[in-house]
Chains A and B, each alone.
Chain A
Amino acid sequence: QSVLTQPPSASGTPGQRVTISCSGRSSNIGSNNVYWYQQLPGTAPKLLIYRSNQRPSGVPDRFSGSKSGTSGSLAISGLRSEDEADYYCAAWDDGLSGVLFGGGTKLTVL
């Protein structure tokens, strides 16, 4: 099953700003919302960004999402050690009639 394309890894130092990209096609990101999930080791995924750029209550405003054409992006500003986790993007694909996930990006805080 095809996936959305994310970089496998990203890193930054405390206080820095990092961005994680998510590349798709017209049938998924191009015509549907992007969702972002954070998964800490050994835990369930947690919703970070919904409907491409909305942040659930309780998620710090250091996290932001955007979408342009067939790509989505997650930005984390003021990087903190507790941000070290795996990050996944997801979108519905109209052609497949199913959800596609990105392969995940492991964020390391140096």
Chain B
Amino acid sequence: QVQLVESGGGVVQPGRSLRLSCAASGFTFSSYGMYWVRQAPGKGLDWVALIWYDGSNKYYADSVKGRFTISRDNSKNTLYLQMNSLRVEDTAVYFCARKDTVMLSTGSYYHYYGMDVWGQGTTVTVSS
């Protein structure tokens, strides 16, 4: 079945770096855009980044622009989030999510902007 499994979270000091991974299975990973979304303790959902199915386009929330980098390896069915210059306010559960996409009768794909499948999340704690 369709599955997303995040890993790489942990406790890190402010200013340090961390790389999160999201292993995908059960679908054609290379045909789907992917998101990172985070949730600070006791708070709501907060979009972090989006990458196109082929990696050609990337978008970031203002709060992480210039510090975080989203990337993917379609040969490994894996999504990444490189987080540099971490701040206390980056403390959150980080979820990866699949972009809502439909395969057309022509065999091509139409991409919507929602998230249809979510991973279980990995916790990042930034603290001195």
Interface residues of A (CB under 8 A from B): 1, 3, 32-33, 35, 37, 39, 43-47, 50-51, 56, 86, 88, 90-92, 97-104
Contacts and interface: CB of A to CB of B under 8 A. Distances in A.
B50 interface: yes
A99 B47 contact: yes
Interface of B: 35, 37, 44-47, 50, 59-63, 95, 100, 112-121
A47 B46 contact: no
Contact of A88 (B44, B59, B116, B121): B44
A101 B47 contact: yes
Interface of B is mostly: strand
Contact of A51 (B50, B112, B115): B112
Contact of B45 (A32, A46, A88, A97): A88
Given A1-B62, A33-B112, A45 B100 contact: no
12 contacts: A1-B61, A32-B113, A33-B113, A45-B118, A56-B116, A88-B45, A90-B47, A90-B114, A98-B59, A99-B35, A99-B47, A104-B45
B114 A100 contact: no
Contact of B117 (A1, A39, A47, A51): A47
Nearest to A51: B112
Contacts of A35: 100, 114-115
B46 A101 contact: yes
Given A1-B63, A98-B59, A45 B113 contact: no
Contacts of B113: 32-33, 91-92, 99
A51 B100 contact: yes
A47 B47 contact: no
A90 B116 contact: no
Contacts of A33: 112-114
B112 A103 contact: no
A90 B100 contact: no
Nearest to A43: B120
Contacts of A102: 44
B125 to A, nearest CB: 17
B59 A47 contact: no
B1 to A, nearest CB: 12
A18 B90 CA distance: 34
